[in-house]
Structure 1
Amino acid sequence: MESDISQFSASPLARQHTWTLAAYRYMLRKRLGRRSNIDLRSVAAKSWEIAPGELTVSPSAFYLPGQLERVTGWEGKRFYPYVHPGPTMQGGISLQQAPTRGYLIKDVWLVEGALYKGRASHWLSLKPSTFPTISVDHEVDRAAIYCTQNGNTWFGNWLTEDCPTYALACNEGVPVTTAPSARFPLYTQAPAYEDWLEMKPLRLRSAFLRELVLFEDQANNRNRSARYRAIGDKLLAHVAHAPHPGVFLLRGGDGDLRLLRNELALAEHLRASRGFRIVNPLKCDVPGIVAACAGARVVMGVEGSQLVHGVNVLQPGGCLLTLQPPNRFVSYYKYLTDRDGQHFGFVVGTPEGDGFTIDIGEVERTLDLFPRQSV
């Protein structure tokens, strides 16, 4: 039985110790086959619309003939409402973007990456610890959680999804996110970005939340776009910048393997032929990365989280060109560029060993497809 939560004081962050078996009760119900996947938002005391939804129509991507025929693997869940990337790249898709909503839930337990209230739960991490803590020594009167599974798993999603939601959280309570762990450590560049974005979250491993505000903030409506563009404006305010041809963001062997074997040769070619800047985010600090990306008309690199450094500050009318492994085609960034009035293009590579290569001539010809004023 859980302890009496009334032993907590009414202060926003009490240190009086208590304990909970909420996580273990969830695990037991799941093992016994009982219903244990009730969404936490369904037990909200109230919900409200923060920003309206809208109907959007997607533009076509820029790509050469024959590119999609090279694709041998893709993440189907990334191409909603279609499974294959072809229709998404061809554009002309009408999609009803959902409104942004808030949900108020009372008396919620946060235990190592998951939220619990009775039989309802909500997962902030892909998988909490096998042996969750039962000790709780924090209480928050009104917490507003802005982190997500995606943001706690991938750096790019943290910047494009969680950071814009932080602005909503500041209006609703104490902005709370999960504390880093051995499995999900704090991203190396997160503190510098948080400093420039004036983010001061409360990081908790476990807590009792007297009131919790959750957000439904995945739709690419205009409100979410405005909050993301505000992030770019804050970053640009820290650096001097002027328009320049483009930036090539190296990926190397970081993260999930997407090894472009001729990455350096391609980057050097673009520096010589078009005046691109080359940035290795693993060897450069955040101020240096933002300064190099600011003003770029084109952001380019292997599809992956490192591109977010450039997308953050890419202006409306700018271009993003992704270099796609044939066996792992992803178009996550197209949804962002469609939303924010930018152009998206891609080149698909050909397999070579445990990686792939990109034809330099195809990159040049794809760049020439973009509107002239954009490049």
Structure 2
Amino acid sequence: MGTDISRFASSSALRRDRWTLAAYREVLRKRLGQQPGLELKSLAERSWDIAPGGSTVSPAAVFLPGQMERVTGWQEKEFFPYVHPGPTMQGGLTVTHGPTRGYLLKDVWLIDGALYKGKASQWLSLRQVSVPSVRVEHEVERAAIYCTHNGNSWFGTWLMEDCPTYALACNEGVPVTIAPSARYPLFTQAPAYEAWLGMQPLRLRTAFFRELVVFDDMSNNFSRYQRFRDMGHKLLAHVAHVPHPGVFILRGGDGELRMLRNELEVAEHLRKVHGFKVVNPLKMQVPDIVAACAGARVVMGVEGSQLVHGVNVLQPGGVVFTLQPPNRFVSYYKFLTDRDGQHFAFVVGSPEGEGFTISIDEVERTLDMLPG
């Protein structure tokens, strides 16, 4: 999915120095204790529905009796509802999915990972600059931002949420994302995924956009489902694959600590008994990872971003099976399986030291409960 930048900006317009104090005005406003700034989208010249919303009834997850009683904590982040996961796992909830929307703004500044217009701002990356830039080196006639703060923070969110929005951005302007920095480099596996997905974004740290399109693309409506499925088809087109029982994706000690102390034991059991493929994404290249995950009926592992390698190519009717730390139960993949016509199963571990352990017997009994 290449992008013809000339559709939206002449080559001479992409490099043109400008100067702005937009970031400093925002810093000063906060230090003076003034009212919170406006939401960037409130200053849009126009907005429109790109795709309609809808509603669905959530199915129940697959789990053994007594699992929810082990849960002592659940994730509190911007994109996880801070509620006990019990009702979500029981299913039967009517879930409303909003529309996908676009917003057109004019004369917007990008300064060190944040967008500024008038009294409005929006951070797209972690706040990492104590002295904001005043010199802006790039000017773009019409751009479309597809990246988000969460997507620039976590690999799984980038691949599951930001990358599907890239398709929308290509239809509206030059697709732009935040350029990596020394402190926050590009995700190691991002270039390989971008190549297979045909993504060619313009990476910038500072810019002036004469016109900028931003999106509301957080709802799990049919449009988002279809764009995510299209990504999976593109990845599968690069590898030979046949159906197989499942893949266990190791987490190890990467990312936020969720140390499954008997992770290798569980993975080896599944390999020997059920013919699962074991994937270590920290030691494998993207082509090998995708090839191993393609065709899997079950994608299993500690709940976390590493599972997205398998979820990307999991087909309708497949199963995401998470091994959940008792003190950090996350429901995120349940929302995706509900959307994508798949099943969600889990086992909650038992605390052990700074980590947790998972009962292989409970994994086996939960596998026996899976449909089909």
Tell me the TM-score normalised to structure 1 length. 0.95
Q: SS of the residue aligned with 2:351? A: strand
Q: CA deviation at 1:82?
A: 6.8
Q: CA deviation at 1:95?
A: 1.6
Q: Residue in 2 aligned with 1:301?
A: 301
Given that 1:52 and 1:99 are in contact with CA atoms closer than 8 Å, whether structure 2 keeps it comes out as yes
Q: CA deviation at 1:135?
A: 1.1
Bigger shift: 80-89 or 66-75? 80-89
Given that 1:111 and 1:207 are in contact with CA atoms closer than 8 Å, whether structure 2 keeps it comes out as yes
Letter of the 1:251 counterpart: R
Q: Residue in 2 aligned with 1:230?
A: 230
Q: CA deviation at 1:149?
A: 0.7
Given that 1:40 and 1:122 are in contact with CA atoms closer than 8 Å, whether structure 2 keeps it comes out as yes
Q: How does 1:1-375 map to 2 (within 5 A)?
A: 11=11, 13-76=13-76, 83-372=83-372
From the superposition, tell whether residues 81 and 193 of structure 1 become closer, same or farther in structure 2 (CA, over 3 Å).
closer
Letter of the 2:322 counterpart: T
From the superposition, tell whether residues 341 and 21 of structure 1 become closer, same or farther in structure 2 (CA, over 3 Å).
same
Cα deviation 1:312-345 (Å, max 9, x = unaligned): 0000000010000111110111100100000001
Given that 1:248 and 1:279 are in contact with CA atoms closer than 8 Å, whether structure 2 keeps it comes out as yes
Q: C-alpha separation between the residues in 1 aligned to 2:158 and 2:178? A: 12
From the superposition, tell whether residues 76 and 88 of structure 1 become closer, same or farther in structure 2 (CA, over 3 Å).
farther
Q: CA deviation at 1:198?
A: 0.3
Given that 1:12 and 1:139 are in contact with CA atoms closer than 8 Å, whether structure 2 keeps it comes out as no
Q: CA deviation at 1:15?
A: 2.1
Q: SS of the residue aligned with 1:126? A: coil
From the superposition, tell whether residues 126 and 65 of structure 1 become closer, same or farther in structure 2 (CA, over 3 Å).
same
Percent identical:
72
From the superposition, tell whether residues 82 and 25 of structure 1 become closer, same or farther in structure 2 (CA, over 3 Å).
closer
Bigger shift: 131-140 or 168-177? 131-140
Q: C-alpha separation between the residues in 2 aligned to 1:247 and 1:152? A: 27
Residue ranges of structure 2 left out of the alignment (5+ in a row)? 1-8
Letter of the 1:115 counterpart: L
Q: CA deviation at 1:79?
A: 8.7
Given that 1:114 and 1:128 are in contact with CA atoms closer than 8 Å, whether structure 2 keeps it comes out as no
Q: Residue in 2 aligned with 1:5?
A: none
Given that 2:75 and 2:82 are in contact with CA atoms closer than 8 Å, whether structure 1 keeps it comes out as no
Q: CA deviation at 1:13?
A: 3.8
Given that 1:12 and 1:140 are in contact with CA atoms closer than 8 Å, whether structure 2 keeps it comes out as no
Given that 1:79 and 1:331 are in contact with CA atoms closer than 8 Å, whether structure 2 keeps it comes out as no
Q: CA deviation at 1:367?
A: 0.9
Q: SS of the residue aligned with 1:226? A: helix
Q: C-alpha separation between the residues in 2 aligned to 1:300 and 1:78? A: 25
Bigger shift: 121-130 or 143-152? 121-130
Q: Residue in 2 aligned with 1:3?
A: none
Letter of the 1:243 counterpart: P
Q: SS of the residue aligned with 1:125? A: coil
User: How many positions carry a matched residue from both structures?
Assistant: 364
Residue ranges of structure 1 left out of the alignment (5+ in a row)? 1-8
Given that 1:48 and 1:103 are in contact with CA atoms closer than 8 Å, whether structure 2 keeps it comes out as yes
Q: C-alpha separation between the residues in 2 aligned to 1:166 and 1:190? A: 14
Cα deviation 1:99-143 (Å, max 9, x = unaligned): 000000000000011000010111111324111111111000000
User: How much is the aligned-residue C-alpha RMSD, in angstroms?
Assistant: 1.4
Q: SS of the residue aligned with 1:268? A: helix
Q: SS of the residue aligned with 1:151? A: coil
From the superposition, tell whether residues 244 and 322 of structure 1 become closer, same or farther in structure 2 (CA, over 3 Å).
same
